[in-house]
Chain A
Amino acid sequence: MVIRRNRRLEWIARNRLHPEHSAVLMGVNGGDEIGPSGLVRKRPHDIGFIGPNGIKRIDRLGNSLATMAGAGAHKGQAEVSLPLYVVENASQYVAVVLDAPEGRLSEHDKDLLGLAQQLKAAADNAASTAVAAIIFSSAAPEAARIESYQLAGVDRLIVLPAESDDYQPEQRAAQICALTAQYDFIHLCFPDTVLGGADTGRRVAANLAERPATSVWKLDGTQLICRGAAGKTDITRPLSKVIIALEQCADQIDESKHECLALSADAITLSASRIEDLGKAQVNPNDIDLTEANFILSGGNGIEDWDRFHEAARLLGATEGASRVAVDDGFMPRERQVGATGKWVTARVYIAVGISGAIQHMQGIGQCDKVIAINTDDSCDMVKRADLSIIADSDAILTALIETLSNQSSAEFHPQEAVA
């Protein structure tokens, strides 16, 4: 048989940009291209499919290319699923007592879980060692919380009952000691937080007659590196049972998912606490050091009536701060200055009244959580930084605030009154 060549189709088959190119290739020969010598030619360009990010992919596992390509195009960026680490038949535990305010993991808690995973890897029988997180809570944590624990490196979870959020260090230490008797943890890790893990951890250590390693900031093989002499020295010491670790003591877990299976704790009867929490005492906000204050009302060059500013601060129960201009002009004392040459504040809410937001001032408020700006100029830097900006005259706003607060104070409002 003489094969007649169709020069036009051959030309279209060579020209990949031709609109009929693919139709011609799939055409008469049932998809096979016959070369000039009559041999069937392979076309390597046809293998694979275009992936979701526009890159050509070749699937050698034999999945259907067409469905893959279709699914990929729909999903867009496929979600990465982290590998799940499973500890079967755990025979020993590294315990981590988390601060977890309201069940939420703090950064310090996550660092500590990272350290615990390192301790687990360094343990004698690493394969059957699990990291057990201990939290105090009145109710079982909800699913979203469990998910966050799984991603932070919790293999097992123990929820100890807590009646209230009151300061009950003796009760908590007793609960943890009872749990230690039940599970015989190889290590007990605590975050070094004032009146949190630092307190409970030392109580537990005293009760177990163990010498705690405190201010730990690194695990180096099987040695712990701790800060000593109030932060002036580094002490390298062997591993201890009770470990009280600083922030950033280890890298957080972020490339694996863990089981977070529930472990049960034997119920124990607690003896009556010898310490009783009588509740928070009211503090004059201006006695709080500016660097520690939680809520700051700060005034700058845009304030006209300073008496009104002080009145508003008193009614709000805010600690007073100032920009350098206000201090230089003599309206505020020097120790109230916020900024590069003043104090670096860490407030949760910072209200800047009539402050333009010069870089020297912004440096000082870098660690503030929420910023409210009150300014006449809606293009100034403070407004750009602020979470809520009021573009109006400072005097009018302060007056409005004072009015609202004094109206409400008689009804449901209880702002912190300054104690003389």
Chain B
Amino acid sequence: MTANSSKDIAITTLLSVGQHPLSARPRRAEEDARALEVMLQFAPASMKALHAGDTADAQNLTVLKDYLGMGIPSIDVIPTSADSDAAEALASYLANAGDGQPHILLTGTRSEVGESSGFLPYLLAEKLAIPFVPNICDILSIDMAAGVAEVMQSLPRGQRRKIKTQLPFVASVGMAAAIPRQSSFGAARRGVINTVSSIDTVADEAQTAWKTEPARKRPKRLKVVKAKTAAERFKAATAKVQSSGGEKIYEVDKAAEAILKLLKEEKVL
């Protein structure tokens, strides 16, 4: 597999408008920016960015400009209104793309506004009938002849796993991926926002019945004492938590063995 053939593919990144957790200002969605960064670093022959949203909103445009500033020449925008289902619009656009369908479709794991269900990439993969790999942090290699790709998946606790998947595929990029580059003003000015000719969008009717409010603090679970007798209640209230009072070793020659034994028991070695 030569370097050229592996880059001879088309990748599309889906971009959304994020929201800063404290100031609530629109910003690049952190995971989408990372997905874009993964694509830019892999530098395939064809790179595209796709956004479904409201182009009339000036704040959304600034965010799209921020993405353009990362060095992608253009962003295709599917115009949808705020209350319509972006997943449906994207799915029907991509399904009808024909030859323009990318080999790899990158997204973030979940959006920073709205329902934030992280369901969109699964829906796209299902509609396009291609595999989906969640939470990747890098594209390792692509073998066009065999029609497979290797990606690095990030697991909890900083672990990594290699996954081999068939092409084409959808992948979501998590926070473990490389930090996205800064947006540069010149590139942002040069970049173009193309509006895709209209697509039938479906209004998201289910969501109109929902009630959305600022997140309440979740109550902490208390330790409930379920004692039947007064004696048990008394014990629960007064008994000290038993300290395990670990083993103490004073000899140097036994120490290393004891430590390694515990480490093996805990399966960290």
Contacts and interface: CB of A to CB of B under 8 A. Distances in A.
A311 interface: no
B210 A236 contact: yes
B19 to A, nearest CB: 7
Interface in A381-420: 383-384, 386-393, 396-397, 400-401, 403-405, 413, 415
A141 interface: no
Contacts of B260: 401, 404-405
Contacts of A274: 130-131, 165-166, 169
A215 B21 CA distance: 17
Contacts of B112: 229-230
A276 B163 contact: yes
B233 to A, nearest CB: 12
Nearest to A280: B161
A233 B125 contact: no
B160 A280 contact: yes
A21 interface: no
A398 B57 CA distance: 61
B159 to A, nearest CB: 6
A135 interface: no
B163 A277 contact: yes
Interface stretch (B47-55, B95-103, B113-121, B190-198): B113-121
Given A195-B134, A275-B133, A283-B160, A397 B122 contact: no
Contacts of A372: 259, 262
Interface string B30-65: 000000000000000000000000000000000000
A21 to B, nearest CB: 29
Contacts of B253: 400
The B interface is mostly helix, strand or loop, or mixed, namely: mixed
Nearest to B266: A349
A203 B214 contact: no
Interface string B125-152: 1100011111100000000000000101
A287 B252 CA distance: 31
B200 interface: no
Interface stretch (A30-38, A92-100, A206-214): A206-214
A118 interface: no
A229 B117 CA distance: 8
A206 B125 contact: yes
A387 B112 CA distance: 42
Nearest to B131: A274
B240 interface: no
A238 interface: yes
Nearest to A319: B158
B3 interface: no
Contacts of A388: 246-247, 249, 258-259, 262
Given A384-B243, A386-B246, A397-B256, A233 B212 contact: yes
Nearest to A170: B131
B113 to A, nearest CB: 5
Interface in B7-43: 19, 21, 24
Contact of B118 (A214, A279, A387, A404): A214
A348 interface: yes
A48 interface: no
Contacts, number: 219
A53 interface: yes
Interface string A134-171: 00000000000000000000000000000000010110
Interface string A339-356: 000000000110100000
Contact of A234 (B134, B214, B226, B250): B214
A234 B210 CA distance: 10
A235 interface: yes
The A interface is mostly helix, strand or loop, or mixed, namely: mixed
B111 interface: yes
B82 interface: no
Interface in A275-294: 275-281, 283, 287-289, 292-294
A114 B258 CA distance: 41
A255 interface: yes
A217 B158 contact: no
Most chain B beta-carbon contacts within 10 A, residue among A194, A199, A274, A317? A274
A287 B103 CA distance: 31
Contacts of A20: none
A205 interface: yes
A202 interface: yes
17 contacts: A53-B231, A195-B153, A202-B122, A233-B215, A234-B215, A235-B115, A235-B211, A236-B211, A280-B162, A288-B157, A292-B158, A294-B268, A370-B266, A390-B258, A391-B248, A391-B250, A392-B255
Interface of B: 19, 21, 24, 110-119, 122-123, 125-126, 130-135, 150, 152-153, 155-166, 169, 206, 209-216, 218, 221, 226, 228-229, 231, 243-244, 246-253, 255-260, 262-263, 266, 268-269
Given A211-B119, A283-B158, A348-B268, 6 more contacts: A53-B231, A229-B113, A392-B250, A400-B256, A401-B260, A404-B256
The 9 closest A-B pairs by CB, nearest first: A288-B158, A278-B162, A206-B126, A274-B131, A295-B268, A387-B246, A400-B256, A281-B160, A214-B117
Interface of A: 53, 80, 167, 169-170, 194-195, 198-199, 202-203, 205-207, 211-212, 214-215, 217, 227-238, 248, 251, 254-255, 274-281, 283, 287-289, 292-295, 316-318, 348-349, 351, 369-372, 374, 378, 383-384, 386-393, 396-397, 400-401, 403-405, 413, 415
